[in-house]
Structure 1
Amino acid sequence: MSQMVMVQAIDVSLNKFSTEVPASLSSCTNLQYLNLSWNSFYGPIPTSIIELKNLLDIDLSNNNLLGAIPMAFGEMKTLQHINLSSNKLTGEVLEEGVFATIDESTIMGNLGLCGTWMKLSPCSHSKHKQPLVSKKVIIPIVVGTGIFILSFLLFMFSYRWRQRKILDLKVWPLRISYSELVDATDGFSEANLIGISSFGSIYKGILKNGTDIAVKVLNLQDENALQTFNRECNVLKRVRHRNVIKIISTCSNLEFKALVLPFMSNGSLGRWLYPEGGDECKLNLADRLRIAKEIAQGMQYLHHHFFVQVIHCDLKPNNVLLGDDMTPCVADFGITKLLFGNSMNSFTSTNALNGSIGYIAPVGGMDSTKGDVYSYGVLLLELLTRRRPIDDMFVEGINLPKWVGMNFPNKITEVVDNNLLRDVNESDLSVVLSCLTQFMQVGLACTRELPQERPNMMEIAERLEKIAMTFLGTRSLQLPIDILSFLESTNGRKNTELGNDENWSTSTS
């Protein structure tokens, strides 16, 4: 470790290490991210870790660590997240420092821990006076009458029953057993197969409490499957955004690895754009604009507001899932890359080229957030034109962005999806075309050839929010919105708020 002074991230999770946590970690003075989870590390947590003054995130979960949690963890000013769950730790946990901001799932599975918060058992030697009555649970300290005891037992029974019905990351168990998944998916039957991804199969399941789930089973014959599992676990377990898919649980052993995700009843955005059997696309203008705006907000979160910078690397309609209320969620993080400062961590795929044909940036590839911006721009243009980027019409160096650019803005009616214009009156056409032009302009800016000329996702999300509010008003947050009511509310409105920002102008030469 003494030779790793400049290292910023160490991730050896999901291995078979069986040793004490090396005290020499303290020599990695620039370390920001430490993940030793899902191993067999034993012994106490070395107090020398507190010497890592730049540490932001530490994950020691699912090991065999013993002893007390070093009190100094609560005094580390830089530490933002800590996960000590599923170990054999004992002693008091004080609500100080990082422990004041984490949820109870990060210390679950340590039966010897005690304290005055997170439903922990009270410590007999606690410095804090234990209240006689808790806000959530009445703790009997004096044997009372039979009526009092019976009331308490009934209360506890009903409380635990309600808790089992709640699907919440803060109280959901860290693992669901293999047998539970077998029961939920009817033995991973073909009838429950709902999709096949790059690294595995996805099944619909129903847990015993009635919760619908999607189970992504990794194909362990693929040499990259373990890395894929590791990547998705590390990204999704900390997600807190309505437009990014969340992880419910994992199931992992030597022969089986699966992610348990919420079931998205409306399937993928790709399925809605291109229905089976040649049916018409049922997404109206308001639907498509809202979906585009919320995808941008999810990507903004991953690029600018997550604990590390996440590069999705494969953003496309089939990797955007729609929930019961048509809320879009960015999904499938199998080839994701994580950035710590300016350094790419070990999750980087060994493949020379990542992503899907048609969505990969021609310059800059997918190694930076600007690669995701390009993919998003293609997705946005695809939403407006309903043309796949691999359509047979794109030949001899012409692709979707170039085709739209050649017709923008004077021939926009020749590229936009006819379904969006079919029932529009001639008197209302200019309003609709103005709206489409503004969104199409964003898509073209995102697909500029040089990465440095593309906007970032924060700028894109802000721009789309402004456009949506201008044309749809506050009703843009509701689905579905009939195109005629949209026209009634915006008929005659001039686009005076947006102007022609030079940063968003598009050359069509």
Structure 2
Amino acid sequence: MGADADPSGGFLASTTPLLGLPLYALLTISAAALVFALLFFSLRRCSRSRANRRFAPLIPTSTKEIGEITPVRNAKGEEEAKKVVAVVKPSEGSSSSSSASSSVSMEKEKKMENIGWGRWYTLAELEAATAGFNSENVIGEGGYGIVYRGVLPDLSIVAVKNLLNNKGQAEKEFKVEVEAIGKVRHKNLVGLIGYCAEGAKRMLVYEYIDNGTLEQWLHGDVGPISPLTWDIRMKIAIGTAKGIAYLHEGLEPKVVHRDIKSSNILLNKQWYPKVSDFGLAKVLGSGSSYVTTRVMGTFGYVAPEYACTGMLNESSDVYSFGVLLMEIISGRSPVDYNRPVGEVNMVEWFKRTVQRKHDEEVLDPSIEVKPSTRALKRVLLICLRCIDMDAQKRPKMGQIIHMLEGDEFPFRIVRLSQLLCILHLCFC
């Protein structure tokens, strides 16, 4: 029996050609390699899953945030926008049930892709930033509410607009601002940083612009010589036009500002303008040539056809920009009852003066260095085209930018008129 038993283990102990290893050793190594491979791929899959969770789009560090509300075009869309706000609105109670908490968490995860462009501030945070909404921190005031200068814990400076709650107007303006410019980022539009909605309070937090408004520099007490030179005024006009053009031509759906005026143009220390206050803005859906709405705006800036019919589109903003451009050139307010009867309405006075070819008379006397005749005529032509009574003949904002930055097109007309005058003198 001892001779029949193979001490080497029989078949499994037979030597294989691979490195002279026994068959049982080769099988053992193969099995170990298979197990190792399975473990490796399993661990790799887990690590990938963990990494995906780790590097998913992050919610800002604030504990209270707002979801993105996209521009709406119908009643259903508006209802959906309200739901997004309700999901991420901070709770007013000090405690909540665990089921409600988990429900909110689930909803937040659903809307994760729409969160991250605006922070939701608590009322306590904004009270601390503005020293309890101290009157010494007021930097602007109007029918919409009061704007305060605020300093956040990270020492960044912001502008906090506390909307007046007049018959639900604060809620309406709050929603409009969120829809119109919540996602918009443009160097000539004031950036919206965050929001606050607690109880009846509705507040908007903007980037702080440190050099006041265009209205203050045009009509305030700045001395006999204005710091706004002709070149600076053109820089402001071009920057403002670019901001409005982005609203009209760079967004889908497009946005009509509806309240273009000098007090809504903020300036920094380098005189770069930023268009602000979108509380009256309207979203114009694709395929729509206009939207019918209640007439809103500022007296003197409102386009005549909009004032008469309530039909609003981009050309209404173009008219308002034309009035603003006249204001920049002349230093006059659109309506000034302190002036003689024929000069109360700036637009009518401006048109009459230019038609009489007294171009120099429309210039702000506080401009120390006057522009060239060529440059002045170019801008006067742009003003008159913007306020054309036929809204369809007004240029688009993109065209206005080209006309302000270059003089080729407008001066074809001027050169032709000059040529006709020369021919008249020569042959008559």
Tell whether the structures are fold-level matches, with TM greater than 0.5: yes
Which one has a bigger Cα radius of gyration? 2
The SS at the match of 2:149 is: strand
Is 2:346 the partner of 1:400? yes
Is 2:345 the partner of 1:298? no
Is 2:186 the partner of 1:241? yes
Which residue of the partner structure matches residue 14 of structure 2? Answer: none
Q: CA deviation at 1:353?
A: 2.4
Q: CA deviation at 1:397?
A: 9.3
The SS at the match of 1:419 is: coil
Aligned length: 327
> 1:277, 1:285 → 2: CA distance?
16
Task: Find the partner of 1:197 among 142, 155, 158.
Answer: 142
> 1:200, 1:263 → 2: CA distance?
17
Which letter maps to 2:412?
Answer: N
Q: CA deviation at 1:107?
A: 4.4
User: Within 5 Å, which residues of 2 pair with 1:276-315?
Assistant: 276=221, 280-315=225-260
1:83-128 CA distances to partner (integer Å, 9 max, x unpaired)? xxx71449xxxxxxxxxxxxx87345xxxxxxxxxxxxxxxxxxxx
Change (3 A) 1:448 1:208: same
- Bigger proportion of residues as helix: 2
Q: CA deviation at 1:255?
A: 2.5
Q: CA deviation at 1:501?
A: 4.6
Structure 1 contact 11–36 (Cα < 8 Å) conserved: no
Structure 1 contact 364–370 (Cα < 8 Å) conserved: no
The SS at the match of 1:500 is: helix
Q: CA deviation at 1:325?
A: 2.4
User: Within 5 Å, which residues of 2 pair with 1:160-171?
Assistant: 169=117
Is 2:380 the partner of 1:440? yes
Q: CA deviation at 1:341?
A: 2.1
Which letter maps to 2:363?
Answer: V
> 2:363, 2:180 → 1: CA distance?
36
Q: CA deviation at 1:399?
A: 3.0
Task: Find the partner of 1:214 among 159, 162, 167.
Answer: 159
Which residue of the partner structure matches residue 95 of structure 2? Answer: none
Task: Find the partner of 1:339 among 272, 284, 294.
Answer: 284
User: Within 5 Å, which residues of 2 pair with 1:49-64?
Assistant: none
> 2:286, 2:340 → 1: CA distance?
38
> 2:171, 2:376 → 1: CA distance?
43
Is 2:112 the partner of 1:176? no
Structure 1 contact 364–451 (Cα < 8 Å) conserved: no
Task: Find the partner of 2:320 among 372, 375, 381.
Answer: 375
> 1:345, 1:370 → 2: CA distance?
10
Which residue of the partner structure matches residue 124 of structure 1? Answer: none
Task: Find the partner of 1:359 among 295, 301, 317.
Answer: 301
> 1:105, 1:246 → 2: CA distance?
20
Structure 1 contact 231–334 (Cα < 8 Å) conserved: yes
Q: Which has the higher contact order (CA 8 A, sep 6+)?
A: 2
Structure 2 contact 265–274 (Cα < 8 Å) conserved: yes
Which residue of the partner structure matches residue 84 of structure 2? Answer: 37
Task: Find the partner of 1:452 among 381, 388, 392.
Answer: 392
Farther off after superposition, 242-251 or 409-418? 409-418
The SS at the match of 1:204 is: strand
Structure 1 unaligned segments of length 5 or more: list them. 1-6, 16-20, 22-33, 42-62, 68-85, 91-103, 109-168, 425-430, 468-495
Q: CA deviation at 1:363?
A: 2.2
Change (3 A) 1:338 1:344: farther
The SS at the match of 1:355 is: coil
Structure 1 contact 338–345 (Cα < 8 Å) conserved: no
Q: CA deviation at 1:287?
A: 0.2
Structure 1 contact 200–218 (Cα < 8 Å) conserved: yes
User: Within 5 Å, which residues of 2 pair with 1:17-96?
Assistant: 36-40=83-87, 87-89=108-110
> 1:206, 1:345 → 2: CA distance?
41
> Identity over aligned residues, as a percent?
29
Which residue of the partner structure matches residue 32 of structure 2? Answer: none
> 1:368, 1:376 → 2: CA distance?
13
Which residue of the partner structure matches residue 257 of structure 1? Answer: 202
Structure 2 unaligned segments of length 5 or more: list them. 1-71, 89-101, 418-428
Change (3 A) 1:270 1:415: same
Structure 1 contact 9–345 (Cα < 8 Å) conserved: no
Q: CA deviation at 1:9?
A: 3.1
> 1:292, 1:269 → 2: CA distance?
10
Which residue of the partner structure matches residue 499 of structure 1? Answer: 411
Which letter maps to 1:87?
Answer: K
Change (3 A) 1:106 1:40: closer
The SS at the match of 1:87 is: helix
> 1:345, 1:454 → 2: CA distance?
15
> 1:276, 1:330 → 2: CA distance?
23
TM-score norm. by structure 1 comes to: 0.58
Q: CA deviation at 1:235?
A: 1.4
Q: CA deviation at 1:175?
A: 1.2
Change (3 A) 1:105 1:36: same
1:372-414 CA distances to partner (integer Å, 9 max, x unpaired)? 1110000001100111111233646973233222222621111
Which letter maps to 1:432?
Answer: S
The SS at the match of 1:205 is: strand
Q: CA deviation at 1:337?
A: 1.0
> 1:269, 1:434 → 2: CA distance?
25
Structure 1 contact 8–340 (Cα < 8 Å) conserved: yes
Which letter maps to 2:146?
Answer: S
Task: Find the partner of 1:416 among 359, 363, 366.
Answer: 363
Change (3 A) 1:329 1:185: same
Structure 1 contact 105–174 (Cα < 8 Å) conserved: no
1:358-382 CA distances to partner (integer Å, 9 max, x unpaired)? 1111223361111111100000011
The SS at the match of 1:249 is: strand
Which residue of the partner structure matches residue 153 of structure 1? Answer: none
Q: CA deviation at 1:309?
A: 1.3
Structure 1 contact 381–443 (Cα < 8 Å) conserved: yes
The SS at the match of 2:278 is: coil
